[in-house]
Amino acid sequence: MSRKKAREGLVFLMYQSLFDDHINADKIDLFIENFDYNKVQSTYINNGYNNITQHIEEIDSVISKNLKNWSIERMYKLDLSILRVAVYEILFEEETPNEVAVNEAVEIAKTYGTTDSSKLINGILGTILRSRK
């Protein structure tokens, strides 16, 4: 359960960053403190946020290439945040099996997204995985 809560936290932080261009270490620490994440979860969120922002152009490029008749700018912002975390895990997080990254992203979308979010995310991530093989 620890990684699941941390993954949701990372999605929420990525979502917040879409509206706040000045996320820094203090804001991340405050976010972690407010939601009572443990040390392992905090480390995952910090590392994930820093790695995603460092590789955001590559992550967004992979997402954009796999959108059909859609643009990243038009996406529901929570779906984009979920996809960024999942694509980060697929591309850069060797500890997380790809199937787990996809499944967790779909579950987060079912919980917090629109009625179509989980299908959209599953489809995009499935296309990304097939193209990597």
Q: What is the pLDDT of residue 82?
A: 98
Between helix 39-54 and helix 77-92 the angle, nearest 10°, is 90
CA distance linking residue 76 with residue 1, whole number of Å: 26
The pLDDT assigned to 68 comes to 84
Work out the angle at residue 46's Cα, subtended by the Cα atoms of residues 113 and 16, and round it to the nearest 5 degrees. 40
Which positions ≥6 away from 84 have C-beta within 8 Å?
Answer: 14, 52, 56, 59, 60, 63
How many whole angstroms from its chain centre is CA 61? 14
Q: 42-57: per-residue pLDDT in tens?
A: 999 999 999 999 999 9
Amino acid at 106: V
What integer pLDDT is reported at residue 64 of this predicted model?
Answer: 95
> Which pLDDT score is estimated for 49?
96
pLDDT in tens, 29-44: 999 999 989 999 999 9
User: Domains, the chain, ranges and CATH?
Assistant: 2-132 (1.10.940.10)
**Between residues 131 and 79, the one the model is more confident about:** 79
- Residue 1's pLDDT band (cuts 50, 70, 90): low
Q: How is residue 118 written in tokens?
A: 């989980």
Whole-number average pLDDT of the chain: 93
